[in-house]
Amino acid sequence: MSIELEHVSYVYNPGTPAQWQALRDVSLTIRPGEFVGLIGATGSGKSTLVQHMNGLLRPTSGRVRVFGMDTSDPRTDLTRVRQRVGLVFQYPEHQLFAATVAEELAYGPTNLGLAPEEVQRRVRWALRAVGLGEELLTRSPFSLSGGQARRVALAGVLAMRPDVLVLDEPAAGLDPLGRREILDLIRNLHREGMTIVLVSHSMEDVAELATRVVVLDQGRVVMDGPPRELFRRHRELAALGLAAPVAAQLVDALKARGWPVPGQAVTIREAVAEVTAALAARRRERRPEGGREGGRAGV
């Protein structure tokens, strides 16, 4: 198991008037190779939860184990935890600080105590992994475009060579192309074997990418399952301030209008397949009967 949370609760500012319980008895296991989409309204506890995954926060009660290392155990080396689980915050480019991209990317691996040659190898690999050229190495991170700076920040985490990559809204604020690029990159990292936890407000993105979706509400895990099953529960999602992808909404609406569709689609491709299959079935049905009307309404 990569990350195991057992009955994790977390309280901010305990014992003060500002006390706030952000997580309530969360048990969750992230398995190697999964692509987990983590969704929930603002304030549902997503960011608090992901900060437990690399030991930035430690549970008020319960236990978090990262590759077997208990993050609450004082003997646990948190540097080791953070090397295994890389966390990319929202708007990570706001945290760039070095004078050059090369220094920025070398910072993490250098702190791991790696030999300079290994550090350089990782810097170049990480830069390539995020699709940037080596000509950027000597540039100041502050002279980059928004999309480039975002990718440099991501490369800084990748240079640690984590087994698990946790990303909090990695596409927020990017234009549609920047968005597609960063999501393709994450998809590629997953294909190459990295375990991914993606926090996102975009149900379309989660439907396209995730193999498993976890829904948080008021600090609790309220749904956990494959996107196909989960995105069918439109009403529940709407009540949680979330929306199903448009593809799921379409097949649901058609089903309600009497179309013979399974109503399982969550991606555009799947919705197109359901609609074309229903239309083809309808045509087959009609032909032998010479176009007699009066079958299912609407089709």
Partner 1 sequence: MASRRGEPSEPYILVRDVTYRYPGPPGGEPVLALDRVGFRVYRGEFVAVLGRNGSGKSTLARLLNALLLPQEGEVRVDGLDTRDPANLWAIRDRVGMVFQNPDNQIVAAVVEEDVAFGPENQGLPPEEIRRRVEEALAAVGLTALRDRPPHLLSGGQKQRLAIAGALALRPACLVLDEPTAMLDPRGRAEVMATVTRLREEAGVAVVLITHFMDEAARADRVVVMDRGRVVLEGSPREIFAQADRLRALHLDLPPVVALAAELRAAGVPVPPGILTLDELVEALCRLS
The residues near 2 (Cβ < 8 Å, ≥ 6 apart) are 30, 31, 32, 34, 66, 67, 84, 85, 163, 164, 195
* 41 touches partner 1 (CB under 8 A): yes
Single residue of 109, 141, 162, 245 touching partner 1 by CB under 8 A = 245
Shortest Cβ 163–partner 1 spacing (Å): 29
The residues near 143 (Cβ < 8 Å, ≥ 6 apart) are none
* 264 touches partner 1 (CB under 8 A): no
Specify the stretch interacting with partner 1 by CB under 8 A; choose among 51-59, 143-151, 153-161, 219-227: 143-151
Site string for partner 1, 160-189 (x = CB under 8 A): ------------xxxxxxxxx---------
Pick out residues in 69-128 that bind partner 1 (CB under 8 A): none
Question: For residues 131 and 148, what is the distance between their CA atoms, to the nearest angstrom?
Answer: 9
Question: For residues 157 and 36, what is the distance between their CA atoms, to the nearest angstrom?
Answer: 18
How many helices and strands (H and E) does the chain possess?
11, 10
Question: For residues 144 and 127, what is the distance between their CA atoms, to the nearest angstrom?
Answer: 14
* 246 touches partner 1 (CB under 8 A): yes
Question: Are the CB atoms for 22 and 45 separated by under 8 Å?
Answer: yes
Shortest Cβ 140–partner 1 spacing (Å): 9
* 201 touches partner 1 (CB under 8 A): yes
Structure tokens, 86: 């890389």
Residue 187: how many other CB atoms lie within 10 Å = 14
Shortest Cβ 174–partner 1 spacing (Å): 7
Q: Which is nearer to partner 1, 4 or 205 (CB)?
A: 205
Query: By the criterion CB under 8 A, which residues form the site for partner 1?
Result: 40-43, 143, 145-147, 172-180, 201, 203-204, 241-243, 245-247, 249-250, 253-254, 257, 259, 268-269, 271-272, 275-276, 279, 282, 298-299
